[in-house]
Amino acid sequence: MEEEKRAFSEQKKSCVNCGAELTYKPGTTEIKCDYCGHEETIVQNEDGFKELELKPYLEEMGSLSHSEEILMLQCKNCGANQHIEENYKSLHCVYCTMPLIIEDAYKEDWILPGAVLPFQFDQKKSHQIFSKWVQGLWFAPNNLKKAALDPQYTKGLYLPYWTFDAQLYATYTGQRGDYYYVSVPYTTTVNGKTVQRTRQERRTRWTPASGSVSGFVDDTLIKASHQRKNAIPNKIAHWNLKALVPFNTSFLAGFVTEKYTIPLKDGHLESTKEAEKIARSWSRHDIGGDTQRVHSINMSLSEETFKHILLPVYISAYQYNGKKYNFFVNGQTGRISGKRPYSFWKIFFTVVLSIAVIVLILWLVDTYQNQQGNI
Ligand SMILES: [Zn+2]
Ligand SMILES: [Zn+2]
């Protein structure tokens, strides 16, 4: 544990020219000084991803070599907890923009991430994506547009996820259904006469089926933070995990990292449910035929390993009429999504204007028809 801890903090690097803290430069494998432009390549450890054996972690968390302490800050307003890998100048909650107080920081154990998907573009670019989207919103209050365009509140955030790998074996019982068609006679009326016709109807022949399926379940992705209030929209929560790189704190420099709040144990329960769905779908495939019924499944998982991984999103937080709004941009794909308020007055005036136009048209038509009538 001691050894691991030292490795973690030693990776925090200062600029050799001016002493300022180096931050990760998105889309590259460099860390960069924002003051003098000095760049350094991030040295990657060669042993690749750290897939951790699941059992010992489920049994005794905390005393293991891949866990260590980090400094956490909890937002008093929305409850989000965040770890900030940069100089503590002015800190704001990434979700709700409330100021965070460095004196409130506390230390917590966490399982070190095994892999990270580094940001692929910088904050400036994410801000351009936000701006374009906000400008294109219909009926958005002008204040929203102004505030969403304040780059101060757009932050890069690494979200925690669990991924699980396992060897799956399952036996099943069920039924295989094969379609066949029968000709069914019926009577109908054609030109007032009753006639006999036949039509084809589909039937299913059911036969009992049983067997076993097995295979490797790779990278089942499970959310590791509750995000009840601060939910990341599903629309943007898709990353290409092929781009994961072995974890290195340098990738977090200058960004905010959220600590997992869903314990490994609960994440594992979720992933087991996912594995059951997979076993069910493999069983259906194994049964074959046109349709299947699965009556029972007996599944076991072995050689289970897991990783704690970090995935990138940019968040823009904004308060409007006392309510909190977030816009999210996927830090890998650039997809955007967000909740947005509507301006009552903009909608009101549009409706009033539309009614006025309709009334005017009706009046014009009426006048025209009257004139026609007078001729
Ligand atoms: Zn420098
Ligand atoms: Zn907050």
Ligand nearest to the CA of 98: 2
31 lies in the same domain as 62? yes
**Could you tell me the maximum CA-CA distance found in the chain, to the nearest angstrom?**
101
Specify whether 201 is located in the same domain as 330. no
Tell me: do 200 and 65 sit in the same domain: no
CA of 152 to the centre of ligand 1 (A): 22
How far is residue 204's CA from residue 190's CA, in Å, rounded to a whole number? 32
pLDDT, mean of residues 285-298? 95
Around ion ligand 1, which residues have CB less than 5 A away? 15, 17-18, 20, 33, 35-36, 38
Judge contact between 30 and 250, C-beta under 8 A. no
Looking at the structure, tell me whether residues 319 and 246 fall in a common domain. Answer: yes
- Residue 227 resides in a domain: yes
**In the predicted structure, residue 66 carries a pLDDT above the cut 70:** no
**Which ligand has an atom closest to residue 155 CA?**
2
Which residues 6+ apart lie within 8 Å of 224 measured at CB? Answer: 159, 160, 161, 162, 260, 261, 262, 267, 308
- Residue 292: the pLDDT is 96
pLDDT value at position 44? 77
Q: Do the domain assignments include residue 133?
A: yes
Q: So what's the pLDDT on residue 7?
A: 37
> Residues 57, 190: one domain?
no
Question: In whole angstroms, what is the distance from residue 20 CA to residue 36 CA?
Answer: 9
Output DSSP code: residue 14: B
Shared domain for 88 and 145, answered yes or no, is: yes
Confidence (pLDDT) at 155? 84
Question: Which ligand number lies closest to the CA of residue 82?
Answer: 2
Q: Count of domains in the chain?
A: 2
Burial (CB count <10 Å: 0-12, 13-18, 19+), residue 190: exposed
* Block residue for tokens 């909650």: 93
Ligand nearest the Cα atom of residue 229: 2
Query: How many Cβ atoms sit within 10 Å of the Cβ of residue 349?
Result: 11
Mean pLDDT of 79-100: 73
Burial of 346 (0-12, 13-18, 19+ CB in 10 A): middle
User: Which region among 61-65, 97-101, 351-355 has the lowest average model confidence (pLDDT)?
Assistant: 61-65
Give the pair of three-digit tokens for residue 199.
């039509």
**Alpha carbon distance 84, 74 (integer Å):** 11
Q: Which ligand is nearest to the CA of 33?
A: 1
The domain in which residue 188 lies consists of: 179-207
Which run of H or E residues covers position 361?
helix 344-374
Q: 103 and 41, same structural domain?
A: yes
Distance in angstroms (rounded) separating the CA atoms of residues 283 and 278: 8
Find the 41 Cα to ligand 1 centroid distance in Å: 14
Same domain for 224 and 132: yes
Read off the pTM.
0.75
Ligand 1 centre distance from Cα of residue 32 (Å): 8
The rounded percent of the chain whose pLDDT value lies above 70 is 85
Q: Which of helix, strand or coil describes residue 332?
A: coil
pLDDT at 2: 37
Ligand nearest to the CA of 319: 2
Q: Is 360 contained in some domain?
A: no
Mean pLDDT, rounded, of the chain: 83
User: How many A from CA of 229 to the centre of ligand 2?
Assistant: 10
Which pLDDT score, from 0 to 100, does residue 247 have? 87
Q: What is the pLDDT at residue 8?
A: 42
Calculate how far, in angstroms, residue 34's C-alpha sits from the geometric centre of ligand 1: 7
Does 116 reside within a domain?
A: yes
Ligand index nearest the alpha carbon of residue 315: 2
Residue 358 maps to a domain: no
Residues 149 and 237 in one domain: yes
Is the per-residue pLDDT at 219 higher than 90?
Answer: no
Q: Are residues 165 and 185 in the same domain?
A: no
Starting from the CA of residue 40, give the closest ligand.
1
Indicate if 261 and 304 belong to the same structural domain.
yes
Q: Look at residue 361 and tell me if it is in a domain.
A: no
pLDDT at 6 over 50: no
With 0-12 / 13-18 / 19 or more C-beta atoms within 10 angstroms meaning exposed / middle / buried, residue 59 is: exposed
| Mean pLDDT for the stretch of residues 288-292 | 95
Residue 167 domain-assigned? yes
Please give the residue that has the higher pLDDT: either 129 or 141. 129
Task: Please give the distance, rounded to the nearest whole angstrom, from the Cα atom of residue 11 to the centre of ligand 2.
Answer: 28
Which residues have CB under 8 Å from 298's CB, separation 6+?
170, 171, 172
Please report the pLDDT score of residue 64 as a whole number: 55
- The rounded Å distance from CA 38 to ligand 1 centre is 5
* Residue 90 per-residue DSSP state: S
Under 8 Å between Cβ of 317 and 97: yes
Structural domain includes residue 357: no
Q: Do 51 and 186 share a structural domain?
A: no
Domain boundary among 158, 188, 207: 207
Position 367 pLDDT exceeds 70: yes
pLDDT digit string, tens, across residues 332-353:
999 988 776 677 777 788 888 8
C-alpha span between 315 and 271 (Å, rounded)? 27
Per-residue pLDDT of 261-282, as tens digits, reads 888 889 999 999 999 999 999 9
Residue pair 157/225 in contact by the 8 Å Cβ criterion: no
- Whether the pLDDT of residue 234 is over 70: the answer is yes
CA of 303 to the centre of ligand 1 (A): 47
CA of 290 relative to ligand 2 center, distance in Å: 52
What mean pLDDT do residues 103-131 have? 86
- Give residue 31 CA to ligand 1 midpoint distance, Å: 11
Ligand whose nearest atom lies closest to the CA of 75: 2
